[in-house]
With several copies, the nearest count.
Chain A
């Protein structure tokens, strides 16, 4: 902890020094935790910020997990980058590489926080909170019907911290428990509570054909499934696809996550309860804005607790259309920026 404090102080001193002599053409980086549309939208935000505010921006998507992210961070440091905003895959165990970044550059986190690391701030939302939103959405959806029933959870993988928190939030929200982010239900056990039976959590390691097969197989195994949720973007998209293909529309409810095109279409059509969306564009934009301010010696936008909150939103039938238009415009801007 001592080392962390020292590194934080060193970064602050560096920023202080920039006051006297701001960086001429700062170069900052945005590092994701994987490859996904979510991150391409974030990239659009980051690049738009770079254009608008005047700095170089490098965006890196590590495709191969922790090792890959470590390698990219090291290489960026070697390259002599002025500041990095990273979404750490496994914060508890990535202390060293984050220390390295803090030592030679400036470190902030996005999407997934690392409070114990020497990061100057975190930009994002709480995945537990977002999961809770999704769970409540599902609870409302089923309460309108008979209430209770069998529920299945689909998620890309459970190793990463944000996935675990999101799942736990969903479960707590669905079952109407009092929120407690530290709770953890084992994925392998069937939960019987509050009239609901959570029959299981299925992962696919990002193989979409496998993800689709999971949903299909679970629907076969539990013909009486009442509700499902896809906690990663493509899980929800595929759930919509399977519902269409198997004619289960209306029979199985879907509480979605993220802004897949098919999901939005399903919301408009009315057979998807709704979806919880984050604001990746905002993560990217804010990251660059904050880092850029640092290189000018300005630390004023960092609040006392170090968390810049960019909350999640629930999209339902009424606001789906407006949301979709805005998103398309942002993606287009991001592409044109490239």
Chain B
């Protein structure tokens, strides 16, 4: 929680700014859409956090989003599979990818960066080849299935705001992952493994298995996220769908307090990290800045944010130290 304070502060600052200067920022529909996008990206970011906890990294998230996302309409529309077969197939394929990464990393001891970088190229390549670089979409069909991402729920007593359906899986995942790391034995083992692998091994912890499972989890979430993404946008091109999503996911996780050295996680932080990125992007349009500036603004604001966060942290810890000294 303490680790998340920084990103929550950054988020609030941007939110307040956007409310003041953005047109129609505080409208139900905008908040709804922000919630939707945050939920989608949060699912990827939670996945990224799973492997970051182990001290690893997954650069293939964007490509798995692409492959899983593209495969869904490809099977449904081109091959006319039933949704009941497609969803499990896509999820199993994503989990298989994670398993493959995990085994290469834990058994063959290859560097996670390298393995998942190859993955980044490989899965996108497969998606492009499989579809012959053709856009894949639902052609207006399977509206019911797509409700998983496009559905909206009324909240009793609240007007002008409908809750996007994606919030439900995102919230469940967040809670499960949060509980997993703070309350379960395995979560604790993973935290220990992430920071000091040999200490964990000496304590009899099956580190290889746990790390492998983390990669499975990450790819599974990426695949699940990819499915929801394409349900949401209804069609995608294999060559650009999901490009750079791994960076957004990792950025959200790191902003949210996961150290890339491993062993740290804050689920609340990760979600606020994802939300911050989305609010920033929307703010740029609603405030009326040119979209050419989007990248520059996001980069500058994040950099300022983390630098300020670090500055404040240092200032506080110095104050704390001094007051502790005064007490003695």
Check A-B contact in the complex, CB < 8 A. Answer: yes
Contact of A74 among B33, B40, B236, B288 (CB under 8 A): B33
Q: Is the CB of A75 within 8 A of B286?
A: yes
Nearest chain A CB to B27 CB, angstrom units: 6
Do residues B33 and A78 form an inter-chain contact, with CB atoms below 8 A? yes
Chain B residues near A94 (CB-CB < 8 A): 234-235
| Any B CB within 8 A of the CB of A197 | no
- Asked if B30 lies at the interface with its beta carbon under 8 angstroms from chain A, I say yes
List the B side residues contacting A71 at CB < 8 Å.
Answer: 37, 281-282
Decide: A64 near B243, CB < 8 A? Known: A202-B285, A220-B33, A261-B139.
yes
B194 sits at the interface (CB 8 A): no
From 191 to 241 in chain A, residues with beta carbon under 8 angstroms from any chain B beta carbon are 202-210, 212-214, 216-218, 220-221, 223, 233-234, 237-238, 241
Per-residue CB contact flags for chain A residues 89-105 toward chain B (1 = under 8 Å, else 0) read: 11011111100000000
**Residues of A with Cβ closer than 8 Å to B?**
34-37, 39-40, 58-67, 70-72, 74-76, 78-80, 89-90, 92-97, 157-160, 186-188, 202-210, 212-214, 216-218, 220-221, 223, 233-234, 237-238, 241, 245-246, 260-262, 265, 331, 335, 338
- CB nearest neighbor in A for B136: A93
Which A residues are CB-close (under 8 A) to B154?
Answer: none
A58 to B285, CA, bound (A): 10
Please tell me which one of the listed residues A60, A61, A237, A246 contacts residue B235 in the complex, with CB atoms under 8 A apart: A237
Contact B239 A205 (CB under 8 A): yes
A40-B133, A220-B24, A265-B140 known; A65 and B286 CB under 8 Å?
A: no
In the complex the two chains form, what is the Cα distance from A72 to B239 in whole Å?
17
Chosen A-B contacts, 20 in total, with CB atoms closer than 8 Å, are A40-B133, A58-B288, A63-B291, A71-B282, A79-B23, A92-B139, A160-B135, A188-B290, A202-B291, A203-B291, A206-B237, A207-B243, A208-B236, A212-B232, A212-B233, A214-B285, A217-B285, A220-B33, A221-B288, A331-B134
The interface residues of chain A lying within 8 Å CB-to-CB of B244 are 64, 207
CA A284 – CA B291 in complex, angstroms? 17
B259 at the interface (CB under 8 A from A): no
- The docked-state distance in angstroms from the alpha carbon of A208 to that of B23 is 23
Could you tell me if B24 and A65 are in contact, using CB atoms closer than 8 angstroms? no
Q: Decide if B238 is an interface residue (CB 8 Å cutoff).
A: yes
* Ranked 9 nearest A-B pairs via Cβ: A93-B235, A93-B137, A35-B239, A65-B240, A159-B237, A217-B285, A75-B285, A206-B240, A78-B30
Query: How far is B140's CA from A265's CA once the two chains are assembled, in angstroms?
Result: 8
Chain B residues with Cβ under 8 A from A186's Cβ?
A: 132
State A87–B161 Cα separation when bound (angstroms): 30
Q: Does B89 contact A (CB under 8 A)?
A: no
Pair A61/B233 contact, Cβ less than 8 Å: no
Contact with A along B28-41 (1 / 0, CB 8 A): 01100100010010
B241 interfacial contact with A, CB 8 Å: yes
A residues less than 8 Å from B235 (CB atoms): 66, 90, 92-94, 208, 234, 237, 260-262
Task: For B133, give its contact among A74, A93, A157, A214 (CB under 8 Å).
Answer: A157
Closest to A67 in B: B233
Q: Is B181 an interface residue (CB 8 A)?
A: no
Q: In the bound complex, what is the Cα–Cα distance between A93 and B240 (angstroms)?
A: 16
Is B272 an interface residue when CB atoms closer than 8 A count as contact? no
A70 to B230, CA, bound (A): 12
Specify which chain A residues have a CB less than 8 angstroms from the CB of B27 in the assembled complex: 78, 220
CB distance from A75 to the nearest CB of B (A): 4
Residues of B within 8 A of A157 (CB): 133, 237, 239
Q: Which of B118-140 contact A (CB under 8 A)?
A: 128, 132-135, 137-140
B233 adjacent to A208 (CB under 8 Å): yes
Is there contact, CB below 8 Å, between A63 and B239? yes
Is B323's beta carbon under 8 Å from chain A?
no
**Contacting pair B233 A221 (CB below 8 A):** no
Are the C-beta atoms of B24 and A208 separated by less than 8 Å? no
Q: Which residue of B lies closest to A96 (CB)?
A: B234
Whether the pair B137, A60 counts as a contact (CB closer than 8 A) is no
- Determine whether the beta carbon of A262 is less than 8 Å from that of B291: no
Instruction: Closest B residue to A70 by CB, please name it.
Output: B233
- Does B291 lie within 8 Å of A61, measured CB to CB? yes
B75 to chain A, nearest CB (A): 16
Which A residues touch B137, using CB under 8 A? 90, 92-93, 237, 261-262
Asked if A76 meets B243 with Cβ closer than 8 Å, knowing A157-B133, A220-B30, A221-B24, the reply is no
Q: How far is the CA of A241 from the CA of B137 in the complex (A)?
A: 11
List of B residues within 8 angstroms of A61 by Cβ: 133, 239, 291-292
Which residues of chain B have C-beta atoms less than 8 A from A335's C-beta?
132
Nearest-neighbour CB distance to chain B for A44, whole angstroms, equals 10
A208 & B139 in contact (Cβ 8 Å cutoff): no
Flag if B33 contacts A216 (CB, 8 Å): yes
Query: B residues within 8 A CB of A60?
Result: 285, 291
Q: Report the bound CA distance from A258 to B2 in whole Å.
A: 51
B150 contacts the other chain (Cβ, under 8 Å)?
yes
Residues of chain B contacted by A95 (CB below 8 angstroms): 140, 234
B189 proximity list for chain A (CB < 8 A): none
Closest B-chain residue to A188, C-beta based? Answer: B290
Q: Which of A35, A63, A213, A220 has the most CB of B within 10 A?
A: A220
Residue of A67, A214, A331 touching B236 (CB-CB under 8 A): A67
Picked from A35, A40, A79, A234, the residue with its CB within 8 Å of the CB of B24 is A79
B11 within 8 A of A: no
In the complex formed, the residue of B with least CB distance to A163 is B133
Are B23 and A221 interface neighbours, CB within 8 A?
yes
Bound: A93/B132 CA distance, A: 18
Do B291 and A72 touch (CB < 8 A)? yes
Q: Quote the shortest CB–CB distance from A242 to chain B (angstroms).
A: 9
Q: B89 → chain A, closest Cβ, in Å? A: 21
Please, how many angstroms separate the alpha-carbon atoms of A234 and B135 in the complex?
9
Q: State how many angstroms separate the Cβ of B64 from the closest Cβ of chain A.
A: 15
In the assembled complex, which residues on chain A have CB atoms less than 8 Å from the CB atom of B282? 71, 75, 78, 213, 217
